[in-house]
């Protein structure tokens, strides 16, 4: 038996600024056959932390044994080596698991904590994180790891430990340490030969926030800065920039094939088939809904249930017909379970497909049906009431927002407003066709 001490911390290669959590120490201790009797309280309140946690199978037993034999100062490098070599099943390399984790990370970004930087590697995760208010780092990590472990096991159809019990965190004491950690996090995928540059790795902040400046945050301004535009950021994210540019070059057959085989987000797991879209590929008008429902999932065509019939009637009322000079598509191509709204990460994963459809069709007018489609196309959340009745824009194309037919089936009193919108759509389309 050995009491916690500087010696013990060094044996674990934890400088005094590195801490393992109380509950997690038991697991670390068990593996290293050291049984501590007390733990010095090292956790500082507030501050920004560099955090690492890893998959349960990321370090082989032989590695743990080897680590005991080498000097403490060499252990950190060895652990990094094992992690970056991708030991174990590397469940985080599966897009559906990585996206679920990224979504979970982003959910409370700006609320319970500020994520200054992050990367999801195949078998471990690095964060540069600043807890906010009453939310302690322990609570944040506990809740994040326990939720994502349950979700990952559900997606993988298995149970058992998903994460290693212990996480490591280091309080960053100054701008220099902060900058070095951000640099380390961003370069990790490059160092592990997963990408040529940080912004080409989909599951790190630099690559995930497409088109944004993903450089290091200036720690001197943290106390006054707010995390900018979380919603817009979540909606503008994309898979890997390389995947996005590949999709952006596809022709119709390639795009259809890619969607049919896509596994970029967890929705692929329960679909009968992906629902690509239907209609005239040279249409002047494109209607965009949110996601396939049960009947669409079965039939492979968007808007085929009761809401579909109403959409057909709406089209007829302005002298349009499904498949004739009209194209109909959804924001996501696979059915969300229980017909729930698609999540931000699923919308982001599917975004390049819709964008390519829009580019290939080149419609004069896009009509967003409902809030999910409007939020996706406008990059910000707002009520339909505040968006309808005006001419908006998506990537230089005219955009009109109106109610989703499924909403109109439930809310008859808004049908009159929908009729006004249809008149606006008809007038606008005519004007665009005959300028
Ligand atoms: S919803 Fe889109 S991104 Fe997700 S699996 Fe289906 S096609 Fe791929």
Contact 329, 281 (CB under 8 A): no
Q: How far is the CA of 99 from the centre of ligand 1 (A)?
A: 12
Provide, rounded to the nearest whole percent, the portion of the chain with pLDDT above 90.
41
- The response to whether residue 334 sits with its C-beta less than 6 Å from ligand 1 reads yes
Q: How far is the CA of 385 from the centre of ligand 1 (A)?
A: 29
- Residue with structure tokens 């995760």? 125
Rounded CA gap, 263 and 133, in Å?
38
Q: How far is the CA of 44 from the centre of ligand 1 (A)?
A: 42
User: Has residue 27 got a pLDDT over 70?
Assistant: no
Q: 142 is written with which tokens?
A: 């506990």
Q: How far is the CA of 386 from the centre of ligand 1 (A)?
A: 29
CATH superfamily, region 241-433: Uracil-DNA glycosylase-like domain (3.40.470.10)
**Kindly report the CA angle at 92 between 12 and 118, in degrees rounded to 5?**
70
> Each residue of 203-246: pLDDT tens digit?
888 877 643 332 322 222 222 222 222 233 333 344 555 567 68
> Each residue of 76-135: pLDDT tens digit?
666 777 776 666 778 888 777 887 888 788 878 888 899 999 999 888 999 999 998 888
Q: 163 is written with which tokens?
A: 């994460």
Count CB atoms within 10 A of the CB of residue 213: 7
- Residue with structure tokens 């590195």? 18
**Closest residue CA from atom 3 of ligand 1:** 350
Q: 360 is written with which tokens?
A: 């290939």
The answer regarding whether domain 6-228 maps to CATH 3.30.1330.20 reads no
Nearest to 191 by CA among 183, 180, 50, 128: 183
Nearest to 42 by CA among 137, 124, 114: 137
**Closest residue CA from atom 6 of ligand 1:** 334
Domain boundaries, the chain: 6-228, 241-433
* Topology alike, domains 6-228 and 241-433: no
């Amino acid at each position: 038996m050995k009491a916690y001490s500087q010696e013990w911390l060094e044996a674990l290669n934890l400088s005094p600024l590195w801490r393992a959590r109380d509950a997690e120490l038991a697991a670390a201790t068990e593996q290293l056959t050291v049984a501590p009797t007390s733990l010095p309280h090292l956790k500082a309140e507030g501050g920004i932390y560099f955090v690492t946690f890893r998959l349960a199978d990321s370090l082989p037993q032989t590695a743990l044994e080897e680590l005991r034999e080498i000097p403490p100062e060499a252990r950190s490098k060895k652990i990094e080596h094992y992690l970056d070599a991708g030991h174990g099943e590397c469940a985080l390399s599966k897009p559906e698991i990585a996206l679920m984790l990224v979504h979970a990370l982003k959910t409370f970004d700006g609320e319970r904590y500020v994520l200054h930087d992050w990367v999801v590697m195949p078998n471990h995760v690095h964060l540069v994180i600043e807890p906010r208010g009453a939310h302690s780092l322990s609570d944040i990590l506990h809740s994040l790891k326990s939720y994502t472990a349950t979700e990952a096991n559900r997606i993988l159809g298995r149970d058992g430990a998903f994460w290693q019990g212990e996480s490591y965190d280091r309080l960053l004491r100054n701008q220099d340490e902060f900058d070095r950690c951000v640099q380390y996090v961003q370069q990790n995928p490059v160092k592990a030969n997963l990408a040529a540059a940080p912004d080409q790795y989909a599951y790190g902040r630099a690559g995930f926030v497409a088109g944004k400046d993903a450089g290091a945050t200036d720690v001197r301004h943290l106390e006054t800065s707010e995390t900018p535009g979380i919603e817009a950021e979540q909606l503008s994210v994309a898979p890997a920039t390389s995947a996005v540019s590949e999709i952006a070059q596809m022709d119709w057959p390639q795009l259809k094939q890619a969607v049919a085989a896509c596994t970029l987000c967890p929705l692929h797991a329960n679909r009968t088939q992906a629902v690509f879209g239907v209609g005239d590929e040279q249409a002047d008008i494109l209607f965009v809904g949110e996601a396939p429902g049960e009947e669409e999932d079965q039939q492979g065509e968007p808007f085929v249930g009761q809401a579909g019939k109403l959409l057909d009637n709406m089209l007829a009322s302005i002298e349009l017909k499904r498949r004739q000079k009209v194209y109909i598509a959804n924001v996501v191509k696979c059915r969300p379970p229980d017909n729930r709204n698609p999540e931000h990460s699923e919308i982001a994963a599917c975004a390049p497909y819709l964008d390519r459809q829009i580019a290939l069709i080149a419609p004069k007018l896009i009509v967003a049906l409902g809030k999910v489609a409007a939020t996706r196309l406008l990059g910000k959340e707002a009520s339909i009431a505040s968006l309808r009745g005006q001419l908006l824009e998506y990537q230089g194309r005219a955009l009109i927002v109106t109610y989703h037919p499924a909403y109109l089936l439930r809310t008859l009193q808004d049908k009159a407003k929908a009729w006004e919108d249809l008149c606006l759509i008809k007038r606008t389309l005519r004007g665009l066709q005959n300028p």
